[in-house]
Amino acid sequence: MILVTGAAGFIGFHVARALRARGDAVLGIDNLNDYYDPRLKQARLDQLAGDAGFVFERLDLADREATLALFARHRIEAVVHLAAQAGVRYSLTHPHVYVEANVAGFLNLLEALRVYPVRHAVYASTSSVYGANTKQPFSTEDRVDRPISLYAATKRANELMAYVYALQFGVPLTGLRFFTVYGPWGRPDMAAFKFTRAILAGEPIDVYNHGDMARDFTYIDDIADGVLRVLDRVPARDADGVQHRLYNIGNHRPEPLLHFIDVLAKAIGGTPQMRMLPMQPGDVQSTYADIDDLRRDYGWAPATPIEIGLPRFVAWYRAHYGV
């Protein structure tokens, strides 16, 4: 059985579904918090309901005893840890939520992995750890000790915590730094979702840094494929005998924000009203993933440009919300 934390979340749902599609038994957990509409989270779970190979338990990893009890109840062979409090800007106004979910929750998971060993655990990190780095593409060899948001700081803390548990307790761990994931069943606080909703409603969209931004937008099916590839192979020991690796997982093709909006608007068949605004605190001008090591070690490469992915998202949005 494979444990997927954050199974009601955007990436967690797709990973759980991909695991089930190839025949893996999946135990999904989620605390179903209200950072965004819990009805969307429940709708994702409803897509998995009725599948005997998928079991869901509502659980908050910040609850140490409940987390250990979960591992005691189930024979868990591997873990995909995607549960986290996401969002750069929200972390500037709700810091305690991030420490509880991303730091305390991850620590409780690591402790459970120490007591109940598994074959391999893959965990989510983020491109936000690169902070205001200007050298691009971002490489896992770059310095990441100058985060510009608490969200990024908690995720970098996860990477360091994972290394310690791999070093001291022999827990095999791989961290994946995700780059701006989008697609069907996506998060309402992300650009594709927010812009689609506004354009269909005839409302203006907020365009930060006056449109001078670029993102390595990565389609969800490519992400799920990459996660499964990494999960299936335990990282080799490094020179110190530690089984811990970090990889970027992104589209390796930063798209200018205004081009992204143009492709999305054409898929919708509408004309966007753009409200140009300055850069937001904690945000960065551009992201760009160096994926050479992931390509080399796992044969993974993105397959979906935004010209294909955004129309798929719009089709899902129209169907799901009846627009």
- Comparing C-alpha atoms, which of 231, 310, 298, 221 is closest to residue 270? 310
If DSSP codes are grouped into helix, strand and coil, which group holds residue 238?
A: coil
Asked if the peptide bond before residue 137 counts as cis, ω within 30 degrees of 0, the response is: yes
What sections of the chain are H helices per DSSP? 10-21, 38-48, 64-73, 95-98, 105-115, 150-169, 191-201, 220-231, 257-268, 292-298, 306-321
- Comparing C-alpha atoms, which of 19, 11, 17, 41 is closest to residue 219? 11
H/E stretch holding 54: strand 54-58
Residue 208 φ then ψ, to 5°: -85, 160
The one catalytic residue in 90, 98, 130, 151 is 151
User: Residue with structure tokens 């989008």?
Assistant: 182
> Is 219 a residue of the active site?
no
Radius of gyration of the chain (CA): 19
Q: In what order do the strands lie in the sheet with 2-5?
A: 54-58, 26-30, 2-5, 78-81, 120-126, 173-178, 244-249
- Comparing C-alpha atoms, which of 12, 13, 16 is closest to residue 2? 16
Q: Are 243 and 235 in contact (CB under 8 A)?
A: yes
Q: Which residues are catalytic?
A: 151
